[in-house]
Amino acid sequence: MFLSVSPSPHNLAQVDVSRVMRAVALATIPGIVALVFFFGIGSLIQIALCISVALVSEALILKIRQRPISHVLKDNSALLTGLLLGISIPPLAPWWISVIGVGFAIIVAKQLYGGLGFNLFNPAMVGYVLLLISFPVTMTNWQVPLELSQYQLGAGDIFSAIFTGFTTTGLSVNELRISVDGITMATPLDTLRTDLSLGLTTYESFTKPIYNGFVSVGWVWVNLAFLFGGLWLVAQRIIRWHIPVAVMATLAVCATLGFLVDPDTHASAFFHLLSGATMFGAFFIATDPVTAATSNKGKLIFGAIIGLLVYVIRQYGGYPDALAFAVILANMTVPVIDMYSKPSSYGHQKKRHPKQGSSND
Amino acid sequence: MNTYAELTWQGLWKNNPGLVQLLGLCPLLAVTSTLTNALGMSLATIIVMVGSNATVSLIRRFIPKEIRIPIFVMIIAGYVTCVQLLFNAYAFGVYQSLGIFLPLIVTNCIIIGRAEAYASKNALLPSIYDGFIMAIGFSAVLVLLGAVRELLGQGTLFDGAQLLLGEWASSLRIEIFAIDQSFLFIMLPPGAFVALGFILAIKNSLNNKVEAMIVPPVEEKKIERARVSKV
């Protein structure tokens, strides 16, 4: 038996970057399954496309930067960025949307800042925001849930819609958004904000077929599936509970306050938590170890900022969903949060005001 | 190198206002969404810069040192007003699309910078040439940025050129590729920052090669050392 003499810590957890990234990727599987079940296989095609573009652009820029290619590609971080962006992009978006978004995410947001560990902003969300600002119409056209759609979509139709813009029967992506009763449909969040701006109350809006009572068709299960994957990540100790809990708690508190003040124009906390990208963002986007705050206290503050911004932008801003903007804005605050939430090391007292005599800690 | 060659080298590459001094970023980033706008801005900058450098150089002996900056600003503002009125009269479309950035040339740091750094200390002809070549260097960056942004943003070049050059120029419009929705990010100011960043990076990576090509490397002086101690 070989006994090595080394300084502490002696008990090393076998956690490396590659394994963490792989675990996060695996945890998205329930969510992806739900997406595919409700919206067709478009998401799978987008994910495959995004991952391949991510790997190619990472290899390309590493070659230009004269860094070891295979070593860096093996850490799975480019794969994860591609995967997360592929999940975020609308299933029927044209293929060049994915290529532009992932290329920008990897080349500019990640590698030009120095690669994994040096990027200030979450690369997947930078790519998403670039697309959202550039192509707002395409990026906010999420597909109608299959059960509400007027047309039966086969895999071939979806494939052809992504790469040519038309299905095999010649329907354009916009026509596919027409629901059973002949009304063009937006996402639940989008429908709600349009209805509110038209002077309808939330109750009136919720009678539309895209809602099922007080929640939205399909999106509830997608969010619950991502919640399930996220809880698995917490149980596996890949991520800590602080950020997701802070995001969801802040969002729920804000939404409840709004709902109590004026239920006619504010949706409930339940609706906010189970619509759009809430769960996906709270567990998979906001918890990115590079761009999130470091200490536990910092993580709580970071998550709370995201939750607050999501609510404010959804309720009062110009876009239906807000997670990408919220995460990027919160990323900017991370250096300050980290500075003020630095835990004191064992045996040292926190610096107090110079006033003498307050020795109560 | 003689004076003019040195001025050319400084203005176009070594000390380029847009890429090295990074002066006048406001018009550089704000009005370069299309090639036509960039050309209009270039034209205005060239006229103002040549005029202000010439005037400052002519009256440089009569300007009291203490109040030289206000005087330079007055001179520049005079030229900018002339250019603004000319654009208003002869290129109204461009006048409208340049908007506030045309009168804002007054505050463009390159122009006052060249007046202060060169024209107030040198004779008339070199000053005029300095103003001209610096403005050309700035314009080159403007035009490059405008072309890149227009091409990536809406897939065309010289869109709306008839606003600047008259009706015949509408045939200049080239459609490189057709897109049904423009790439808004590139057309908006953030895209200008990113595009300028890429141009700066390319310029910096080319720098050594180009400098070696134009300026012959100075031979290092060999220092013969006298032995001062015995080993």
**Domain ranges across chain B:** 3-214
Work out the percent of chain A whose per-residue pLDDT is above 90: 45
Query: Could B185 and A108 be called an inter-chain contact, meaning their C-beta atoms sit closer than 8 Å?
Result: no
What's the pLDDT score for residue A357?
47
Q: Which residues of A touch B (CB under 8 A)?
A: 100, 108, 130, 133-138
CA closest to B195 among chain A residues: A108
Work out the percent of chain A whose per-residue pLDDT is above 70: 88
Under the banding of pLDDT at 50, 70 and 90, the label for residue B92 is: confident
For residues B40-63, give the mean pLDDT: 93
Which of A49 and B17 is assigned the larger pLDDT? A49
Under the banding of pLDDT at 50, 70 and 90, the label for residue A359 is: very low
Under the banding of pLDDT at 50, 70 and 90, the label for residue A110 is: very high
What's the pLDDT score for residue B100?
87
For residues A4-10, give the mean pLDDT: 75
Query: Could B184 and A135 be called an inter-chain contact, meaning their C-beta atoms sit closer than 8 Å?
Result: yes
What's the pLDDT score for residue B139?
94
Which of B175 and B143 is assigned the larger pLDDT? B143
Task: Tally the residues of chain B.
Answer: 231
Distance from CA of A133 to the nearest CA of B (A): 6
Closest by CA position to A171, among listed A142, A148, A140, A149: A149
What's the pLDDT score for residue A360?
46
Cβ neighbours around A153 below 10 Å, total: 22
Q: Which two tokens stand for residue A310?
A: 């999501």
What's chain A's average pLDDT?
85
Distance from CA of B180 to the nearest CA of A (A): 11
Contacts of B190 in chain A (CB under 8 A): 133
pLDDT at A2 over 90: no
Contacts of B185 in chain A (CB under 8 A): 130, 133-134
Which of B181 and A32 is assigned the larger pLDDT? A32
Does residue B188 sit at the A interface (CB-CB below 8 Å)? yes
Query: Could B184 and A136 be called an inter-chain contact, meaning their C-beta atoms sit closer than 8 Å?
Result: yes
For residues B73-87, give the mean pLDDT: 94
The ranges assigned to domains in chain A are: 17-185, 186-341
Q: Among A156-160, B70-74, B106-110, whose mean pLDDT is lowest? A: A156-160
Q: Among B61-75, B109-123, B160-174, whose mean pLDDT is lowest? A: B160-174
Q: Which two tokens stand for residue B53?
A: 């450098």
Q: Which residue has the tokens 């490397």?
A: B217
How many Å is the Cα radius of gyration of chain A? 22
For residues A193-209, give the mean pLDDT: 75
Residues 6+ apart with CB under 8 A from A150: A178, A179, A180, A182
d(Cα A120, Cα A335) in Å, to the nearest integer? 9
Put simply, the chain B residues between 155 and 184 with a CB less than 8 A from any chain A CB are 181, 183-184
Q: Which residue has the tokens 């998205």?
A: A28
For residues A21-41, give the mean pLDDT: 91
Under the banding of pLDDT at 50, 70 and 90, the label for residue A215 is: low
pLDDT at A275 over 90: no
Pick the most confident of A92-106, A178-192, A261-275, A308-322: A92-106
